[in-house]
Structure 1
Amino acid sequence: MTTLSQSVLAPDYDRSRITTGIVHMGVGGFHRAHQAAYLDDLMRRGEALDWGICGVGLMPRDARMRDALRDQDYLYSLTLKHPGGRAESRVIGSIHDYLFAPDDPGAVLGVMTAPTTRIVSLTVTEGGYNVDDATGLFRTESEGAARDATDPHHPTTSFGYIVEALRRRRDAGIPPFTVMSCDNLPGNGKAARTAVVSQVRMSDPGFAQWIDDNVAFPNCMVDRITPQTTPADIESVRQRLGVEDAWPVVCEPFTQWVLEDRFTDGRPPFEHVGVQMVSDVVPYELMKLRLLNASHQGL
Protein backbone atom coordinates (compact mmCIF):
# COMPACT_ATOMS: atom_id res chain seq x y z
CA MET A 1 0.00 0.00 0.00
CA THR A 2 2.86 2.39 0.72
CA THR A 3 4.01 2.21 -2.91
CA LEU A 4 0.60 3.01 -4.43
CA SER A 5 0.43 5.87 -6.89
CA GLN A 6 -0.85 9.04 -5.20
CA SER A 7 -3.63 9.22 -7.81
CA VAL A 8 -5.18 5.99 -6.48
CA LEU A 9 -7.73 6.18 -3.67
CA ALA A 10 -6.80 3.69 -0.91
CA PRO A 11 -8.93 2.68 2.11
CA ASP A 12 -8.67 5.38 4.77
CA TYR A 13 -10.35 3.31 7.50
CA ASP A 14 -8.80 0.90 9.99
CA ARG A 15 -9.32 -2.52 8.39
CA SER A 16 -8.25 -4.26 11.60
CA ARG A 17 -11.59 -3.14 13.06
CA ILE A 18 -13.66 -4.88 10.38
CA THR A 19 -15.75 -7.85 11.51
CA THR A 20 -17.81 -10.16 9.33
CA GLY A 21 -21.45 -9.20 8.96
CA ILE A 22 -21.95 -10.54 5.43
CA VAL A 23 -20.95 -13.89 3.97
CA HIS A 24 -20.93 -13.71 0.18
CA MET A 25 -21.09 -16.82 -1.99
CA GLY A 26 -19.75 -16.42 -5.52
CA VAL A 27 -17.10 -13.69 -5.34
CA GLY A 28 -16.67 -12.75 -8.99
CA GLY A 29 -15.94 -9.52 -10.77
CA PHE A 30 -19.48 -8.20 -10.50
CA HIS A 31 -19.69 -8.63 -6.73
CA ARG A 32 -16.36 -6.88 -6.29
CA ALA A 33 -17.39 -4.02 -8.61
CA HIS A 34 -20.84 -3.63 -7.08
CA GLN A 35 -21.81 -4.82 -3.57
CA ALA A 36 -18.26 -4.76 -2.19
CA ALA A 37 -17.74 -1.26 -3.61
CA TYR A 38 -20.89 0.02 -1.89
CA LEU A 39 -19.67 -1.44 1.42
CA ASP A 40 -16.28 0.18 0.86
CA ASP A 41 -18.04 3.52 0.33
CA LEU A 42 -19.80 3.08 3.67
CA MET A 43 -16.58 2.19 5.46
CA ARG A 44 -14.92 5.32 4.07
CA ARG A 45 -17.70 7.25 5.81
CA GLY A 46 -16.80 5.56 9.11
CA GLU A 47 -19.84 3.29 8.94
CA ALA A 48 -20.55 -0.44 8.61
CA LEU A 49 -17.22 -1.78 9.88
CA ASP A 50 -19.28 -4.55 11.48
CA TRP A 51 -20.58 -5.47 8.01
CA GLY A 52 -17.32 -6.71 6.52
CA ILE A 53 -17.53 -9.33 3.79
CA CYS A 54 -16.21 -12.88 4.09
CA GLY A 55 -16.20 -14.41 0.62
CA VAL A 56 -16.88 -18.10 0.06
CA GLY A 57 -15.82 -20.10 -2.98
CA LEU A 58 -17.37 -23.46 -3.82
CA MET A 59 -16.02 -24.25 -7.28
CA PRO A 60 -12.53 -25.69 -7.98
CA ARG A 61 -11.56 -22.52 -9.87
CA ASP A 62 -12.29 -20.46 -6.74
CA ALA A 63 -9.08 -21.72 -5.11
CA ARG A 64 -7.19 -19.36 -7.41
CA MET A 65 -9.33 -16.45 -6.21
CA ARG A 66 -8.64 -17.42 -2.59
CA ASP A 67 -4.89 -17.53 -3.17
CA ALA A 68 -4.76 -14.26 -5.10
CA LEU A 69 -6.79 -12.29 -2.58
CA ARG A 70 -5.12 -13.81 0.48
CA ASP A 71 -1.69 -12.82 -0.83
CA GLN A 72 -2.96 -9.22 -1.10
CA ASP A 73 -4.62 -9.15 2.34
CA TYR A 74 -7.94 -9.37 0.40
CA LEU A 75 -7.37 -5.94 -1.14
CA TYR A 76 -7.89 -5.39 -4.87
CA SER A 77 -8.22 -2.49 -7.28
CA LEU A 78 -11.40 -1.33 -8.97
CA THR A 79 -10.91 0.72 -12.14
CA LEU A 80 -13.71 2.73 -13.70
CA LYS A 81 -13.35 3.23 -17.46
CA HIS A 82 -14.94 6.55 -18.41
CA PRO A 83 -16.01 7.60 -21.92
CA GLY A 84 -13.12 9.11 -23.79
CA GLY A 85 -10.57 6.75 -22.30
CA ARG A 86 -10.13 8.26 -18.83
CA ALA A 87 -9.59 5.66 -16.10
CA GLU A 88 -10.09 6.07 -12.36
CA SER A 89 -8.75 3.49 -9.87
CA ARG A 90 -9.34 2.85 -6.19
CA VAL A 91 -8.47 0.06 -3.76
CA ILE A 92 -11.40 -1.79 -2.16
CA GLY A 93 -11.02 -2.97 1.44
CA SER A 94 -14.48 -4.24 2.42
CA ILE A 95 -13.65 -7.91 1.80
CA HIS A 96 -11.54 -8.98 4.76
CA ASP A 97 -11.61 -12.78 4.50
CA TYR A 98 -12.18 -15.54 1.95
CA LEU A 99 -12.84 -19.24 2.52
CA PHE A 100 -12.56 -22.05 -0.02
CA ALA A 101 -15.35 -24.40 1.03
CA PRO A 102 -13.94 -27.70 -0.32
CA ASP A 103 -10.82 -27.23 1.83
CA ASP A 104 -12.62 -26.34 5.07
CA PRO A 105 -16.41 -26.73 5.04
CA GLY A 106 -16.46 -26.49 8.84
CA ALA A 107 -14.98 -22.99 8.73
CA VAL A 108 -17.61 -21.91 6.20
CA LEU A 109 -20.46 -23.22 8.35
CA GLY A 110 -18.81 -21.66 11.40
CA VAL A 111 -18.80 -18.15 9.96
CA MET A 112 -22.32 -18.59 8.54
CA THR A 113 -23.57 -19.68 11.96
CA ALA A 114 -21.85 -16.86 13.89
CA PRO A 115 -24.37 -14.42 15.41
CA THR A 116 -22.45 -11.50 13.89
CA THR A 117 -23.25 -12.79 10.38
CA ARG A 118 -26.62 -11.28 9.56
CA ILE A 119 -26.67 -11.46 5.76
CA VAL A 120 -25.67 -14.21 3.34
CA SER A 121 -25.53 -12.77 -0.16
CA LEU A 122 -25.21 -14.48 -3.51
CA THR A 123 -23.96 -13.95 -7.04
CA VAL A 124 -24.04 -17.50 -8.37
CA THR A 125 -25.43 -16.73 -11.88
CA GLU A 126 -28.91 -17.66 -13.04
CA GLY A 127 -27.96 -21.31 -13.50
CA GLY A 128 -26.83 -21.54 -9.89
CA TYR A 129 -30.42 -21.37 -8.65
CA ASN A 130 -31.12 -24.81 -10.09
CA VAL A 131 -34.60 -23.76 -11.24
CA ASP A 132 -36.16 -25.17 -14.41
CA ASP A 133 -36.81 -22.31 -16.85
CA ALA A 134 -39.95 -23.91 -18.25
CA THR A 135 -41.68 -24.87 -15.00
CA GLY A 136 -40.14 -22.48 -12.47
CA LEU A 137 -39.61 -25.46 -10.19
CA PHE A 138 -36.44 -26.49 -8.37
CA ARG A 139 -34.63 -29.36 -10.10
CA THR A 140 -34.60 -31.90 -7.29
CA GLU A 141 -32.97 -34.49 -9.53
CA SER A 142 -29.77 -32.47 -10.03
CA GLU A 143 -26.63 -34.09 -8.63
CA GLY A 144 -25.83 -31.37 -6.10
CA ALA A 145 -29.37 -31.04 -4.77
CA ALA A 146 -29.78 -34.80 -4.41
CA ARG A 147 -26.44 -35.13 -2.63
CA ASP A 148 -27.22 -32.34 -0.16
CA ALA A 149 -30.67 -33.81 0.51
CA THR A 150 -29.15 -37.23 1.26
CA ASP A 151 -26.45 -35.79 3.54
CA PRO A 152 -27.65 -32.30 4.56
CA HIS A 153 -25.11 -31.91 7.37
CA HIS A 154 -22.21 -32.03 4.87
CA PRO A 155 -23.33 -29.64 2.13
CA THR A 156 -21.58 -29.07 -1.19
CA THR A 157 -23.77 -26.45 -2.89
CA SER A 158 -24.45 -22.83 -1.99
CA PHE A 159 -28.05 -23.57 -1.04
CA GLY A 160 -27.03 -26.67 0.86
CA TYR A 161 -24.69 -24.50 2.96
CA ILE A 162 -27.44 -21.93 3.53
CA VAL A 163 -29.88 -24.62 4.67
CA GLU A 164 -27.42 -26.27 7.06
CA ALA A 165 -26.30 -22.92 8.50
CA LEU A 166 -29.91 -21.87 9.08
CA ARG A 167 -30.58 -25.23 10.75
CA ARG A 168 -27.64 -24.76 13.11
CA ARG A 169 -28.72 -21.21 13.94
CA ARG A 170 -32.27 -22.33 14.69
CA ASP A 171 -31.06 -25.16 16.92
CA ALA A 172 -28.71 -22.78 18.79
CA GLY A 173 -31.37 -20.10 19.22
CA ILE A 174 -29.52 -17.66 16.93
CA PRO A 175 -31.73 -15.44 14.73
CA PRO A 176 -31.66 -16.39 11.04
CA PHE A 177 -29.71 -14.32 8.54
CA THR A 178 -31.20 -12.62 5.50
CA VAL A 179 -30.56 -14.34 2.16
CA MET A 180 -29.80 -11.52 -0.30
CA SER A 181 -29.44 -12.47 -3.95
CA CYS A 182 -27.51 -9.91 -6.00
CA ASP A 183 -27.68 -11.74 -9.32
CA ASN A 184 -28.92 -9.81 -12.33
CA LEU A 185 -32.22 -11.59 -12.85
CA PRO A 186 -35.81 -10.49 -12.19
CA GLY A 187 -37.23 -11.73 -8.91
CA ASN A 188 -33.82 -12.84 -7.66
CA GLY A 189 -35.00 -12.97 -4.05
CA LYS A 190 -37.95 -15.11 -5.05
CA ALA A 191 -35.57 -17.42 -6.95
CA ALA A 192 -33.35 -17.72 -3.87
CA ARG A 193 -36.35 -18.50 -1.67
CA THR A 194 -37.52 -21.18 -4.11
CA ALA A 195 -34.07 -22.78 -4.14
CA VAL A 196 -33.56 -22.75 -0.36
CA VAL A 197 -37.05 -23.90 0.60
CA SER A 198 -37.13 -26.57 -2.13
CA GLN A 199 -33.70 -27.86 -1.11
CA VAL A 200 -34.68 -28.31 2.54
CA ARG A 201 -38.11 -29.69 1.71
CA MET A 202 -36.36 -32.71 0.16
CA SER A 203 -35.12 -33.78 3.59
CA ASP A 204 -37.06 -31.85 6.27
CA PRO A 205 -40.46 -30.39 5.27
CA GLY A 206 -41.07 -28.98 8.74
CA PHE A 207 -37.87 -26.96 8.63
CA ALA A 208 -38.83 -25.71 5.16
CA GLN A 209 -41.90 -24.10 6.70
CA TRP A 210 -39.76 -22.49 9.45
CA ILE A 211 -37.51 -20.94 6.80
CA ASP A 212 -40.49 -19.72 4.80
CA ASP A 213 -41.91 -18.08 7.93
CA ASN A 214 -38.71 -16.60 9.41
CA VAL A 215 -36.13 -15.81 6.71
CA ALA A 216 -36.19 -12.69 4.51
CA PHE A 217 -35.29 -12.99 0.81
CA PRO A 218 -35.37 -9.42 -0.54
CA ASN A 219 -35.50 -8.89 -4.29
CA CYS A 220 -33.17 -6.36 -5.83
CA MET A 221 -32.26 -4.85 -9.19
CA VAL A 222 -28.56 -4.43 -9.93
CA ASP A 223 -26.67 -2.84 -12.79
CA ARG A 224 -23.01 -2.33 -13.59
CA ILE A 225 -21.25 -3.59 -16.70
CA THR A 226 -18.20 -5.53 -15.52
CA PRO A 227 -16.28 -7.28 -18.31
CA GLN A 228 -13.91 -10.11 -17.60
CA THR A 229 -10.49 -8.78 -16.65
CA THR A 230 -7.93 -9.25 -19.44
CA PRO A 231 -4.11 -9.48 -19.29
CA ALA A 232 -4.05 -6.00 -20.86
CA ASP A 233 -6.21 -4.71 -18.00
CA ILE A 234 -3.84 -6.25 -15.45
CA GLU A 235 -0.84 -4.55 -17.08
CA SER A 236 -2.66 -1.22 -17.35
CA VAL A 237 -3.63 -1.40 -13.67
CA ARG A 238 -0.04 -2.26 -12.71
CA GLN A 239 1.22 0.86 -14.46
CA ARG A 240 -1.49 3.05 -12.96
CA LEU A 241 -1.17 1.76 -9.39
CA GLY A 242 2.57 1.26 -9.29
CA VAL A 243 2.04 -2.18 -7.69
CA GLU A 244 1.01 -5.65 -8.85
CA ASP A 245 -2.64 -6.62 -8.49
CA ALA A 246 -3.27 -10.28 -9.27
CA TRP A 247 -7.05 -9.91 -9.44
CA PRO A 248 -8.13 -6.38 -10.46
CA VAL A 249 -11.64 -5.46 -11.59
CA VAL A 250 -12.53 -3.11 -14.45
CA CYS A 251 -16.05 -1.74 -14.93
CA GLU A 252 -18.18 1.12 -16.23
CA PRO A 253 -18.75 4.23 -14.04
CA PHE A 254 -22.53 3.75 -13.91
CA THR A 255 -23.87 1.67 -11.05
CA GLN A 256 -27.36 1.05 -9.70
CA TRP A 257 -28.78 -0.98 -6.86
CA VAL A 258 -32.49 -0.99 -6.02
CA LEU A 259 -33.07 -3.16 -2.96
CA GLU A 260 -36.20 -4.17 -1.09
CA ASP A 261 -35.97 -3.13 2.55
CA ARG A 262 -36.86 -6.53 4.01
CA PHE A 263 -34.17 -7.92 6.32
CA THR A 264 -34.36 -10.51 9.07
CA ASP A 265 -31.70 -9.15 11.44
CA GLY A 266 -30.63 -5.66 10.39
CA ARG A 267 -28.62 -4.31 7.46
CA PRO A 268 -25.96 -1.72 6.63
CA PRO A 269 -27.21 1.83 5.94
CA PHE A 270 -26.98 1.26 2.20
CA GLU A 271 -29.08 4.35 1.46
CA HIS A 272 -26.18 6.53 2.67
CA VAL A 273 -24.16 5.58 -0.43
CA GLY A 274 -26.80 5.72 -3.13
CA VAL A 275 -28.67 2.41 -2.86
CA GLN A 276 -32.40 2.88 -3.45
CA MET A 277 -34.18 1.13 -0.57
CA VAL A 278 -37.75 0.37 -1.63
CA SER A 279 -40.76 -1.67 -0.54
CA ASP A 280 -41.15 -3.39 -3.92
CA VAL A 281 -38.58 -3.67 -6.69
CA VAL A 282 -41.03 -4.80 -9.40
CA PRO A 283 -41.98 -1.27 -10.62
CA TYR A 284 -38.29 -0.48 -11.08
CA GLU A 285 -37.74 -3.68 -13.05
CA LEU A 286 -40.71 -2.88 -15.29
CA MET A 287 -39.43 0.66 -15.85
CA LYS A 288 -36.01 -0.65 -16.82
CA LEU A 289 -37.55 -3.19 -19.19
CA ARG A 290 -39.67 -0.52 -20.89
CA LEU A 291 -36.68 1.77 -21.32
CA LEU A 292 -34.64 -1.06 -22.82
CA ASN A 293 -37.45 -1.99 -25.19
CA ALA A 294 -37.88 1.64 -26.23
CA SER A 295 -34.17 2.02 -26.92
CA HIS A 296 -34.14 -1.17 -29.00
CA GLN A 297 -37.12 0.04 -31.02
CA GLY A 298 -35.32 3.33 -31.59
CA LEU A 299 -32.40 1.45 -33.09
Structure 2
Amino acid sequence: MAAPDGLPPLREVIAAHGLNPKKSLGQNFLLDLNLTGRIARQALPLDAATVVEVGPGPGGLTRALLAEGARRVVAIEKDPRCIAALEEIAGHYPDRLEIVSADALGIDLAGLAGDGPLKVVANLPYNVGTQLLLNWLTAESWPPVWESLTLMFQKEVAERIVAAPGSRHYGRLGVLAGWRSRSRILFDVSPAAFTPPPKVTSAVVRVVPNDSPEPVPLAALEKVTAAAFGQRRKMLRQSLKTLGGEALLTRVGIDPQRRAETLSVSEFVRLANAL
Protein backbone atom coordinates (compact mmCIF):
# COMPACT_ATOMS: atom_id res chain seq x y z
CA MET A 1 0.00 0.00 0.00
CA ALA A 2 1.32 3.43 -0.91
CA ALA A 3 2.20 5.94 1.81
CA PRO A 4 0.09 9.12 2.28
CA ASP A 5 2.38 11.04 -0.11
CA GLY A 6 1.69 8.53 -2.89
CA LEU A 7 5.20 7.05 -2.82
CA PRO A 8 5.99 3.44 -1.82
CA PRO A 9 6.43 2.54 1.86
CA LEU A 10 10.00 2.99 3.00
CA ARG A 11 10.52 -0.70 3.70
CA GLU A 12 9.70 -1.42 0.05
CA VAL A 13 12.11 1.30 -1.07
CA ILE A 14 14.89 -0.18 1.06
CA ALA A 15 14.24 -3.67 -0.28
CA ALA A 16 13.98 -2.54 -3.90
CA HIS A 17 17.31 -0.69 -3.80
CA GLY A 18 19.18 -3.05 -1.46
CA LEU A 19 19.75 -0.36 1.14
CA ASN A 20 20.99 -2.38 4.06
CA PRO A 21 22.18 0.25 6.59
CA LYS A 22 25.97 0.42 6.90
CA LYS A 23 27.49 0.81 10.33
CA SER A 24 30.61 2.34 8.75
CA LEU A 25 28.44 5.25 7.54
CA GLY A 26 26.60 5.65 10.85
CA GLN A 27 23.31 4.76 9.14
CA ASN A 28 20.14 4.21 11.16
CA PHE A 29 17.13 4.77 8.92
CA LEU A 30 13.88 6.32 10.17
CA LEU A 31 10.90 4.46 8.70
CA ASP A 32 7.99 5.98 10.65
CA LEU A 33 6.50 8.70 8.41
CA ASN A 34 4.52 10.09 11.36
CA LEU A 35 7.79 10.66 13.19
CA THR A 36 9.60 12.16 10.20
CA GLY A 37 6.62 14.48 9.73
CA ARG A 38 6.89 15.56 13.37
CA ILE A 39 10.57 16.36 12.91
CA ALA A 40 9.91 18.33 9.73
CA ARG A 41 7.21 20.40 11.45
CA GLN A 42 9.70 21.59 14.08
CA ALA A 43 11.37 23.67 11.36
CA LEU A 44 8.20 25.34 10.01
CA PRO A 45 7.61 27.53 8.10
CA LEU A 46 9.33 25.90 5.14
CA ASP A 47 7.48 27.40 2.17
CA ALA A 48 10.14 30.07 1.56
CA ALA A 49 13.14 28.08 2.77
CA THR A 50 16.00 26.10 1.37
CA VAL A 51 16.28 23.06 3.62
CA VAL A 52 19.59 21.19 3.76
CA GLU A 53 19.32 17.56 4.82
CA VAL A 54 22.41 15.50 5.60
CA GLY A 55 22.31 11.73 5.25
CA PRO A 56 18.78 11.26 3.87
CA GLY A 57 19.27 7.54 3.21
CA PRO A 58 16.10 6.16 1.60
CA GLY A 59 14.43 9.55 2.01
CA GLY A 60 11.92 9.28 4.85
CA LEU A 61 12.67 12.72 6.27
CA THR A 62 13.18 14.10 2.76
CA ARG A 63 9.62 13.12 1.89
CA ALA A 64 8.30 14.68 5.10
CA LEU A 65 10.07 17.99 4.42
CA LEU A 66 8.60 18.16 0.92
CA ALA A 67 5.15 17.11 2.11
CA GLU A 68 5.28 19.88 4.73
CA GLY A 69 5.82 22.42 1.97
CA ALA A 70 9.58 22.98 1.77
CA ARG A 71 10.21 25.12 -1.28
CA ARG A 72 13.58 23.51 -1.94
CA VAL A 73 15.37 20.60 -0.28
CA VAL A 74 19.06 19.93 -0.82
CA ALA A 75 19.81 16.35 0.19
CA ILE A 76 23.50 15.60 0.79
CA GLU A 77 24.15 11.86 0.61
CA LYS A 78 27.53 10.14 0.79
CA ASP A 79 26.21 6.63 0.06
CA PRO A 80 25.83 6.18 -3.73
CA ARG A 81 23.37 3.31 -3.16
CA CYS A 82 20.75 5.81 -1.93
CA ILE A 83 20.83 8.14 -4.95
CA ALA A 84 18.36 6.16 -7.07
CA ALA A 85 15.79 6.13 -4.24
CA LEU A 86 16.18 9.87 -3.80
CA GLU A 87 15.81 10.43 -7.54
CA GLU A 88 12.40 8.75 -7.36
CA ILE A 89 11.36 11.31 -4.76
CA ALA A 90 12.70 14.11 -6.95
CA GLY A 91 10.50 12.87 -9.78
CA HIS A 92 7.47 12.97 -7.49
CA TYR A 93 8.24 16.57 -6.44
CA PRO A 94 9.52 18.22 -9.65
CA ASP A 95 12.08 21.02 -9.24
CA ARG A 96 11.97 20.92 -5.44
CA LEU A 97 14.62 18.31 -4.54
CA GLU A 98 18.30 18.70 -5.35
CA ILE A 99 20.51 15.69 -4.65
CA VAL A 100 24.19 16.24 -3.84
CA SER A 101 26.31 13.10 -3.85
CA ALA A 102 29.08 14.12 -1.46
CA ASP A 103 30.48 13.95 2.07
CA ALA A 104 28.75 16.68 4.08
CA LEU A 105 31.96 17.37 6.02
CA GLY A 106 33.33 18.98 2.88
CA ILE A 107 30.26 21.06 2.01
CA ASP A 108 30.08 24.82 2.58
CA LEU A 109 26.47 25.66 3.46
CA ALA A 110 26.88 29.15 2.04
CA GLY A 111 27.18 27.65 -1.43
CA LEU A 112 23.75 26.01 -1.06
CA ALA A 113 21.78 29.05 0.06
CA GLY A 114 19.08 30.46 -2.16
CA ASP A 115 17.23 33.75 -1.89
CA GLY A 116 15.27 32.70 1.21
CA PRO A 117 16.25 31.43 4.66
CA LEU A 118 18.43 28.34 4.92
CA LYS A 119 17.50 25.70 7.47
CA VAL A 120 19.26 22.42 8.25
CA VAL A 121 17.00 19.51 9.18
CA ALA A 122 18.60 16.10 9.49
CA ASN A 123 18.82 12.73 11.18
CA LEU A 124 22.59 13.07 11.30
CA PRO A 125 24.77 9.99 10.85
CA TYR A 126 26.00 9.14 14.34
CA ASN A 127 29.66 9.00 13.33
CA VAL A 128 29.88 12.58 12.01
CA GLY A 129 27.01 14.40 13.73
CA THR A 130 29.03 16.17 16.43
CA GLN A 131 31.74 17.27 13.99
CA LEU A 132 29.16 18.68 11.58
CA LEU A 133 27.57 20.70 14.37
CA LEU A 134 30.97 22.03 15.45
CA ASN A 135 31.73 23.00 11.86
CA TRP A 136 28.49 24.98 11.67
CA LEU A 137 28.98 26.60 15.09
CA THR A 138 32.57 27.66 14.42
CA ALA A 139 32.08 29.15 10.97
CA GLU A 140 34.39 32.10 10.35
CA SER A 141 31.53 34.39 9.30
CA TRP A 142 28.87 35.15 11.92
CA PRO A 143 25.85 35.41 12.01
CA PRO A 144 25.87 32.20 9.98
CA VAL A 145 24.13 31.49 6.71
CA TRP A 146 21.70 29.14 8.47
CA GLU A 147 18.62 30.37 10.27
CA SER A 148 18.08 27.23 12.35
CA LEU A 149 19.31 23.67 12.86
CA THR A 150 16.83 20.90 13.66
CA LEU A 151 18.97 17.84 14.22
CA MET A 152 18.81 14.30 15.56
CA PHE A 153 21.64 13.12 17.80
CA GLN A 154 22.27 10.38 20.30
CA LYS A 155 20.58 11.67 23.46
CA GLU A 156 23.91 11.80 25.30
CA VAL A 157 25.26 14.19 22.65
CA ALA A 158 22.05 16.24 22.69
CA GLU A 159 22.38 16.68 26.47
CA ARG A 160 25.96 17.89 26.02
CA ILE A 161 24.84 20.47 23.45
CA VAL A 162 22.18 22.04 25.67
CA ALA A 163 23.99 21.58 29.01
CA ALA A 164 24.25 24.49 31.44
CA PRO A 165 27.03 25.15 33.97
CA GLY A 166 26.83 22.79 36.91
CA SER A 167 25.42 19.94 34.85
CA ARG A 168 27.37 16.70 34.57
CA HIS A 169 26.87 16.98 30.80
CA TYR A 170 28.47 20.44 30.60
CA GLY A 171 31.74 20.48 28.67
CA ARG A 172 33.49 21.89 25.61
CA LEU A 173 30.52 21.27 23.33
CA GLY A 174 28.15 23.03 25.72
CA VAL A 175 30.45 26.05 25.97
CA LEU A 176 30.84 26.40 22.20
CA ALA A 177 27.12 25.88 21.60
CA GLY A 178 26.21 28.29 24.39
CA TRP A 179 28.62 30.92 23.12
CA ARG A 180 27.17 31.21 19.63
CA SER A 181 23.67 29.77 19.87
CA ARG A 182 20.59 28.92 21.89
CA SER A 183 19.56 25.30 21.88
CA ARG A 184 16.96 23.01 23.41
CA ILE A 185 15.91 19.38 23.22
CA LEU A 186 12.51 19.06 21.54
CA PHE A 187 11.75 15.38 22.14
CA ASP A 188 13.31 11.95 22.50
CA VAL A 189 13.16 9.19 19.90
CA SER A 190 13.09 5.52 20.87
CA PRO A 191 15.59 3.09 19.35
CA ALA A 192 12.59 1.15 18.00
CA ALA A 193 11.94 3.96 15.51
CA PHE A 194 15.10 3.09 13.56
CA THR A 195 16.31 0.35 11.27
CA PRO A 196 18.53 -1.07 12.64
CA PRO A 197 17.63 -0.02 16.21
CA PRO A 198 20.62 1.70 17.86
CA LYS A 199 21.57 0.77 21.40
CA VAL A 200 20.77 4.25 22.70
CA THR A 201 17.88 6.71 22.76
CA SER A 202 18.10 9.65 20.36
CA ALA A 203 16.85 13.22 20.69
CA VAL A 204 15.89 16.04 18.33
CA VAL A 205 17.61 19.35 19.10
CA ARG A 206 16.70 22.83 17.87
CA VAL A 207 19.60 25.30 17.54
CA VAL A 208 19.27 28.98 16.61
CA PRO A 209 22.22 31.38 16.32
CA ASN A 210 22.99 34.27 18.63
CA ASP A 211 23.31 37.31 16.39
CA SER A 212 26.00 38.94 18.54
CA PRO A 213 27.98 36.43 20.62
CA GLU A 214 30.63 37.82 22.96
CA PRO A 215 33.77 38.61 20.94
CA VAL A 216 36.62 36.16 21.49
CA PRO A 217 39.20 34.44 19.28
CA LEU A 218 37.83 30.98 18.56
CA ALA A 219 41.26 29.34 18.84
CA ALA A 220 41.76 30.78 22.32
CA LEU A 221 38.32 29.64 23.48
CA GLU A 222 38.95 26.14 22.18
CA LYS A 223 42.36 26.05 23.90
CA VAL A 224 40.95 27.12 27.26
CA THR A 225 38.01 24.72 27.18
CA ALA A 226 40.24 21.82 26.06
CA ALA A 227 42.59 22.39 29.00
CA ALA A 228 39.85 23.00 31.56
CA PHE A 229 37.69 20.03 30.68
CA GLY A 230 40.64 17.78 29.89
CA GLN A 231 41.14 17.57 33.66
CA ARG A 232 37.63 18.47 34.76
CA ARG A 233 37.95 16.89 38.22
CA LYS A 234 40.87 19.13 39.12
CA MET A 235 40.75 22.73 40.28
CA LEU A 236 41.24 25.25 37.50
CA ARG A 237 44.56 26.41 38.93
CA GLN A 238 45.87 22.94 38.09
CA SER A 239 43.99 22.15 34.84
CA LEU A 240 44.96 25.55 33.37
CA LYS A 241 48.55 25.44 34.66
CA THR A 242 50.07 25.33 31.16
CA LEU A 243 48.06 28.44 30.18
CA GLY A 244 48.97 30.57 33.19
CA GLY A 245 47.14 28.78 35.95
CA GLU A 246 46.45 30.75 39.11
CA ALA A 247 47.91 33.98 37.74
CA LEU A 248 45.60 33.88 34.71
CA LEU A 249 42.55 33.11 36.84
CA THR A 250 43.32 35.83 39.36
CA ARG A 251 43.80 38.35 36.56
CA VAL A 252 40.21 37.84 35.36
CA GLY A 253 38.69 37.53 38.83
CA ILE A 254 37.95 33.79 38.89
CA ASP A 255 38.60 31.74 42.02
CA PRO A 256 41.48 29.35 41.17
CA GLN A 257 39.84 26.64 43.29
CA ARG A 258 36.78 26.38 41.09
CA ARG A 259 36.33 23.54 38.59
CA ALA A 260 35.57 23.77 34.88
CA GLU A 261 31.93 22.68 35.07
CA THR A 262 31.09 25.65 37.34
CA LEU A 263 32.19 28.36 34.89
CA SER A 264 29.68 30.18 32.74
CA VAL A 265 30.22 30.71 29.02
CA SER A 266 31.02 34.38 29.73
CA GLU A 267 33.73 33.37 32.21
CA PHE A 268 35.31 31.07 29.63
CA VAL A 269 35.25 33.98 27.18
CA ARG A 270 37.01 36.20 29.72
CA LEU A 271 39.70 33.57 30.23
CA ALA A 272 40.20 33.13 26.50
CA ASN A 273 40.46 36.86 25.90
CA ALA A 274 43.07 37.11 28.66
CA LEU A 275 45.40 34.62 26.98
State TM-score, norm by structure 2: 0.39
Larger radius of gyration: 2
